[in-house]
């Protein structure tokens, strides 16, 4: 493993309904629920993790489904579009599946030489399926087979008033390089890994400021191999005058949080210990797992959480 950022680790978004969120991501998009737990700061709210069979870093989309929170608004200072990698030639199959399941889907187009198709989840979260050769194993369901299944993240788009300071952070601290520019879209990628390696910066000097609620991204987590690499990176981030949290144990990885210069909340997350630390691989996501500080309150928490039919 490289002693630097290894692309995306996970992306966390906000939803308005736990059941609707679960139904869409497992039954329509065909992801595996790899962990069902609660928000560390709000244990009356679920925290869902979706990914491939193992919940490999770079495949993990997580949600805080705050019941009744209402819609947010995409805009400047936010991560505004999630890109998923899908097999080349699969977009027509996805378009048909989305039509059958009533998903709001846009027209197929091309960006930086790759075909993509935008759509929105039930809360309006902006996602694109991007045709890209990708050898990662997919989680397969009866409705979503290997020939079309998502492989994990392709990219994340950040919308900013100006890209300069964020670009310097990506290149000078994270090891990314500018690969291409198309109008006000700047594509950065890292050669530390060949998947989940792309960050697009979209410059909108007069764009409206975003507001976090349902249908928006809460934060973007970047991947490091272990805590040693993580803490060395923390020192570099602090040396740039940015405020960053101490290391936080999130049970399945260790985390640091800071706001990059454009206002987007970034996380640095480790590969260790992974999602099988408290459940066997075959049973991931099948039971409610609680952070140890909340285990004594399990009965109360279970009563407070919405009933989830899986």
| CATH classification at residue 100 | 3.10.180.10
Contact 109, 116 (CB under 8 A): yes
Residue 283, in any domain of the structure:
yes
| 170-184 pLDDT per residue, tens | 999 999 999 999 999
Q: Is residue 2 part of a domain?
A: no
Among 269, 253, 190, CA closest to 7:
190
Instruction: Report if residue 1 sits inside a domain.
Output: no
Q: How many domains does the chain have?
A: 1
Other beta carbons within 10 angstroms of residue 107's beta carbon come to: 7
Q: How many helices (H) and strands (E) does the chain have?
A: 5, 17
Per residue in 207-242, pLDDT (tens digit) is: 999 999 999 999 999 999 999 999 999 999 999 999
Phi and psi torsions of 240, nearest 5°: -90, 5
Is 12 domain-assigned?
yes
Nearest to 86 by CA among 120, 46, 127, 45: 127
Count of other CB atoms within 10 angstroms of residue 188: 22
Question: What DSSP assignment string belongs to 142-153?
Answer: SSS-TTT---EE
Please report which confidence band the pLDDT of residue 3 belongs to, taking 50, 70 and 90 as the band edges: confident
User: Whole-angstrom Cα distance, residue 72 to residue 253?
Assistant: 28
Structure confidence by residue, pLDDT tens digits, 95-129? 999 999 999 999 999 999 999 999 999 999 999 99
- Whole domain around residue 279: which residue ranges? 8-304
Structural domain contains residue 203 = yes
Instruction: Using pLDDT thresholds of 50, 70 and 90, give the confidence band for residue 2.
Output: confident
Task: With respect to residue 309, please indicate whether it lies within any of the assigned structural domains.
Answer: no
Q: pLDDT by residue (tens digit) across 288-305? A: 999 999 999 999 999 999
188 lies in some domain:
yes
Give pLDDT, residue 1: 52
Asked if 132 contacts 114 with a C-beta cutoff of 8 angstroms, the reply is yes
Distance CA 92, CA 6 (A): 31
Q: Beta strand pairing status for 60-65 and 8-15? A: parallel
Whether residue 171 lies inside any domain: the answer is: yes
Cis check: omega of the bond before 134, within 30 degrees of 0:
no
């Amino acid at each position: 493993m490289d002693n630097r950022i290894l692309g995306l680790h996970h992306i966390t978004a906000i939803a308005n309904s736990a059941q609707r969120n679960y139904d869409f991501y497992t039954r329509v998009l065909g992801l595996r629920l790899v962990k069902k737990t609660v928000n560390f700061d709000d244990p009356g709210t679920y925290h869902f993790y979706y990914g491939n069979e193992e919940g490999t870093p770079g495949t993990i989309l997580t949600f805080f489904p705050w019941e009744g929170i209402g819609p947010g608004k995409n805009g400047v200072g936010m991560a505004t579009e999630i890109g998923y990698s899908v097999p080349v030639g699969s977009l027509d199959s996805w378009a048909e599946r989305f039509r059958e399941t009533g998903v709001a889907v846009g027209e197929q187009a091309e960006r930086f030489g790759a075909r993509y198709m935008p759509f929105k989840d039930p809360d309006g979260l902006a996602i694109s399926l991007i045709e890209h050769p990708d050898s990662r194993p997919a989680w397969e369901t009866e409705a979503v087979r290997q020939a079309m299944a998502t492989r994990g993240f392709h990219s994340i788009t950040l919308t900013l008033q100006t890209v300069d300071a964020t670009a310097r952070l990506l290149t000078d601290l994270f090891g990314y390089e500018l690969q291409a520019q198309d109008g006000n879209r700047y594509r950065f990628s890292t050669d530390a890994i060949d998947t989940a390696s792309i960050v697009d910066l979209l410059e909108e000097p007069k764009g409206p400021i975003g507001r976090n609620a349902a249908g928006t991204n809460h934060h973007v987590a970047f991947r490091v191999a272990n805590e040693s690499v993580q803490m060395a990176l923390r020192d570099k981030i602090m040396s740039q005058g940015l405020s960053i949290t101490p290391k936080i144990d999130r049970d399945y990885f260790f985390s640091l949080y800071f706001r990059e210069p454009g206002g987007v909340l970034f996380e640095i997350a480790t590969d260790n210990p992974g999602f099988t630390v408290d459940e066997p691989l075959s049973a991931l996501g099948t039971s409610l797992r609680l952070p140890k500080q909340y285990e004594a309150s399990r009965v109360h928490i279970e009563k407070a959480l919405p009933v989830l039919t899986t």
